[in-house]
């Protein structure tokens, strides 16, 4: 089961109230949504989006509230998705980025280096032929392009050696499953790195591939801007990110809004999980929450 991260803090910053219309752009199992629903009551409305149709179906079975609209889609299209559901403005939005524990452990789509699964790594569960997968990157991209994403999205210092060995290996036999990739990474990295107990030698490569497959960083700012445009004045945006590249984008987004006097930053420093939360849920350890409130428009109509 996925345990919602920074749940209490998210709700405190989002401040959902009776009758509010709230967007949960990454609803997954509805951990945050269920708390939001309690706060907004029957007169409120919750719009939840997720790319993963399988998880969303389970969430539909669990959340029976009539005022919850659950949409299978990509939050890059959130303006369209909301418009199609007759929602013009919102009183708050939450983005809890990345993947859930359920996707990591149970999706069978190759997110975990501890399980031998096909190399997909897509948040979408219902793939069509044109969806990019980790298999495509590993077996079809050039050595340079593979090396570049491992370095850029994983900050993997052995990116070149890993990319070289991926290309060498695939010339003999396609790299099909996660364990094929794990073997290549192990052969490409020195013993002290392979045997590091704090961070597994595969973590950075797997993270980089997942980010590239799901296009996670590209235009994140643009997607936050879409949600921002829909917010009523005085409403809040809450974003939880799980790696420094993502957090930097969120931080800059908030800073730009503050400099332009469009919003007030509510988290001067990112909020991080308590030691107790990390003990109960180790997946929360790298989480960072940032929040910003939209300013009231000072334009006064005559």
Q: Site residues (CB under 6 A) for ligand SAM?
A: 2, 4, 26, 28-32, 49-52, 55, 74-76, 96, 98-100, 123, 214
Q: Give DSSP secondary structure letters for 65-109.
A: -TTEEEEES-GGGHHHHHHHTT---EEEEEEE-S--HHHHHHS-S
Tokens at 3, concatenated: 């345990």
Q: How far is the CB of 99 from ligand SAM (least distance, A)?
A: 5
Q: Which is nearer to ligand SAM, 139 or 286 (CB)?
A: 286
Cβ of residue 34: shortest distance to ligand SAM, in angstroms? 8
Q: At what angle do helices 203-213 and 143-154 cross, to 10 degrees?
A: 100
Query: What DSSP character marks residue 295?
Result: P
Give me the least distance between CB of 5 and ligand SAM, in Å please: 7
Closer to ligand SAM by Cβ: residue 51 or 169:
51
Find the shortest distance in angstroms from Cβ 166 to ligand SAM.
25
Q: Which CB sits closer to ligand SAM, 146 or 289?
A: 289
**Residue number, 139 or 203, with CB nearest to ligand SAM:** 203
C-alpha dist (Å) from residue 111 to 53, 119, 290 = 17, 8, 26
Among candidate residues 61, 71, 56, 55, the one with its CA nearest the CA of residue 106: 55
- Residue 267 CB, nearest approach to ligand SAM (Å): 18
> How many angstroms separate the first and last alpha carbons of the chain?
54
Residue 50 vs 277, nearer CB to ligand SAM: 50
CB of 250 to ligand SAM, least distance (A): 14
What is the chain's length?
Answer: 302
Question: Residue 95 or 135: which CB sits closer to ligand SAM?
Answer: 95
Q: Which residue is listed with tokens 């800073």?
A: 255
Do the Cβ atoms of 264 and 293 come closer than 8 Å? yes
Output the residue with the shortest Cβ distance to ligand SAM: 31
């Amino acid at each position: 089961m996925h345990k919602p991260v920074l749940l209490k803090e998210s709700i405190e910053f989002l401040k959902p109230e009776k009758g509010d219309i709230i967007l949960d752009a990454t609803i997954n199992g509805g951990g945050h949504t269920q708390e939001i629903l309690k706060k907004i009551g029957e007169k409120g409305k919750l719009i939840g989006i997720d790319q993963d149709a399988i998880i969303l179906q389970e969430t539909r079975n669990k959340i029976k509230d009539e005022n919850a609209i659950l949409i299978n889609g990509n939050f890059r299209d959130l303006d369209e998705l909301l418009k199609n559901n007759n929602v013009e403005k919102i009183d708050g939005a939450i983005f809890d980025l990345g993947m859930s524990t359920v996707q990591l452990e149970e999706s069978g789509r190759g997110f975990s280096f501890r399980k031998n699964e096909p190399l997909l790594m897509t948040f979408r569960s219902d793939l069509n032929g044109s969806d990019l997968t980790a298999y495509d990157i590993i077996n079809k991209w050039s050595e340079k392009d593979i090396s570049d994403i491992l370095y850029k999205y994983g900050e993997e210092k052995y990116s070149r050696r890993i990319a070289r060995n991926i290309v060498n290996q695939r010339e003999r036999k396609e790299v099909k499953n996660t364990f094929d990739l794990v073997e290549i990474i192990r052969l490409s990295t020195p013993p002290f790195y392979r045997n590091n107990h704090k961070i597994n030698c595969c973590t950075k490569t797997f993270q980089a591939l997942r980010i590239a497959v799901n296009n996670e960083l590209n235009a994140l700012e643009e997607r936050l801007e879409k949600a921002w445009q829909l917010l009523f004045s005085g409403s809040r945006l809450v974003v939880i990110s799980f790696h420094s590249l993502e957090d930097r984008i969120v931080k800059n987004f908030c800073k730009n809004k503050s400099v332009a006097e469009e919003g007030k930053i509510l988290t001067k420093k990112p909020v991080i999980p308590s030691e107790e939360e990390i003990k109960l849920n180790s997946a929360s350890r790298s989480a960072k929450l940032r929040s910003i409130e939209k300013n009231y428009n000072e334009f006064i109509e005559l």
